[in-house]
Amino acid sequence: MILTKAQKEIAKSKARFRVLRCGRRFGKTTLAVEEMVGKAVSKDDQKIVYIAPTYQQARDICWTQLKKKCLPITIRSNEQRLEIIVQTQEGGTSQIVLRGWESVDTLRGQRFDMLVADEVRDMRYWNTNWNEVLRATLLDSKGVGMFISTPRGFDHFYELSLEEDNDPDYKTFHFTTYDNPHMPTDEIEKMKVEMTDDQFAQEVLADFRKHTGLIYKEFDRTIHVIEPFQIPAVWQHFRAMDFGADNPTVCLWIAIDSPGNIYVYDEYYQSGLTTQSHVNIISAKGDPANDILVTYGDPSAEQERLDYASMGIVVTPANKLFNSGDGWVNSGIDAVRQKLKLDPQTQRPKLYLLNNCVKTIKEFETYRWREALKERNTPQKPEKTNDHCMDALRYFVVSYKGKVRQFRPPLIVKYNKTTGY
């Protein structure tokens, strides 16, 4: 196949990890197939893996195209497992396998010379699986990676596209649908008419835009995110927590100035640790001069609050008096939204985040509603992803009313077998 000018530019790159930020129908998968087959035949015993968001997508997007490309050199193939053994230029064999993201954990412990991840934006928990599973599969071979996607909001693929600023092994390429000369321009222009501006910018121009269905549309980095500064000790200081077991445990450090503006000035976001470890790290974090008045948390997580209290962190249940269920969550979201809105007179919000709070910023830009239900009187529900910092902040906003309400946990009495008391 003859590559387009844009595809050739990507193919010529010597970067170990290439990030392809491209519009629809650019030819991303076609390029990936060319690269995988080229790598497979270059020498013996190469092992290449292609990963799509699901097994079915791997079959639908790549399998037929890959089989056709490999037809003259195929030794054998497995239709069920989506695997092909091909003959190399050296006379031996190499293997190409296709997998779905739902089975990514089965790749743990394997070795690959090349890894292609297609539609990275749809791969949940990308950072965790890359760090804990996929990165190690490329260690022994010093393998290469190609990460492909059309953008969708400021998510993990957005962060991946910026990795070239921090790591010389990475190179990001940005091309639009217009860069595919085989796509009729008049068809693209029809898409422009049919789509919203944001949809067209995202799907065709491959620009990072806010999610459709974004909950906090009022959030703007240029307004709400500020440079770190020394938080005065005389301000009121709080913490807000969202407990996690399999999910991350989150703690936010929050300060209130005299006019009542809210500043989220530090964060803790960690999974896979014991409660005692979380307590130790959170207790040691922050400026000792800033006396924490109250730590707010999930009112329904009674056992977790008792556990933390027994280890030295008293967590006050968030105010849940004015509503319940999904209505309580949505009321809390509305309360946060009010803090984000600009005051008509000052043109300033009541909520700021210091730019070191990267997880909280990311969640503001990716926290979205589930697909709307059509049933009457059914409240919208947020997706249960990218919500841990959002939950913690909501607990604080619905609870702080200018007065500090300190929670006293129930007294824990240990039974003494000798005395009977």
* The predicted structure's pLDDT at residue 410: 45
pLDDT in tens, 2-15: 889 999 999 999 99
Q: What is the rounded CA–CA span in Å between residue 14 and residue 31?
A: 15
Q: Which residue has the higher pLDDT, 406 or 395?
A: 395
* Distance between first and last Cα of the chain: 83
Residue keyed to tokens 């089975």: 103
Q: Give me the mean pLDDT over the 84-100 stretch.
A: 96
- Average pLDDT value over all residues in the chain: 88
Q: Give me the mean pLDDT over the 96-104 stretch.
A: 96
Please state the length of the chain. Answer: 421
Q: Give me the mean pLDDT over the 385-408 stretch.
A: 80
Q: CA separation (Å) from 201 to 1, 181, 193, 355?
A: 29, 19, 12, 26
Q: CA separation (Å) from 200 to 21, 183, 246, 372?
A: 15, 15, 37, 22
pLDDT over threshold 50, residue 59: yes
Q: Give me the mean pLDDT over the 112-120 stretch.
A: 97
pLDDT in tens, 330-367: 889 999 999 999 998 899 999 999 999 999 998 998 88
Closest CA to 369 of 178, 217, 154, 252: 217
* The predicted structure's pLDDT at residue 70: 95
Long-range contacts of 332-338 (CB under 8 A, 24+ apart): 332/394, 332/395, 332/397, 332/398, 333/215, 333/216, 333/382, 333/394, 335/394, 335/397, 335/398, 336/216, 336/390, 336/393, 336/394, 336/397, 337/216, 337/218
- Tokens representing residue 220 in the block: 């703007």
Q: Give me the mean pLDDT over the 164-192 stretch.
A: 93
* The predicted structure's pLDDT at residue 409: 47
pLDDT over threshold 60, residue 324: no
pLDDT in tens, 272-284: 899 999 999 999 9
Beta-bridge partners for 354: 226
Q: Domains in the chain, please, with CATH?
A: 5-203 (3.40.50.300), 221-399 (3.30.420.280)
pLDDT over threshold 80, residue 405: no
Q: What is the rounded CA–CA span in Å between residue 168 and residue 164?
A: 6
* The predicted structure's pLDDT at residue 232: 92
Q: Which residue has the higher pLDDT, 366 or 31?
A: 31
Cα 81 to chain centroid, rounded: 29
* The predicted structure's pLDDT at residue 411: 41
β-pair type (17-22, 170-175) = parallel
Closest CA to 252 of 393, 400, 356, 407: 393
* The predicted structure's pLDDT at residue 327: 65
Q: Give me the mean pLDDT over the 289-298 stretch.
A: 87
* The predicted structure's pLDDT at residue 104: 95
β-pair type (47-52, 17-22) = unpaired
* The predicted structure's pLDDT at residue 420: 40
Q: Are 336 and 254 in contact (CB under 8 A)?
A: no
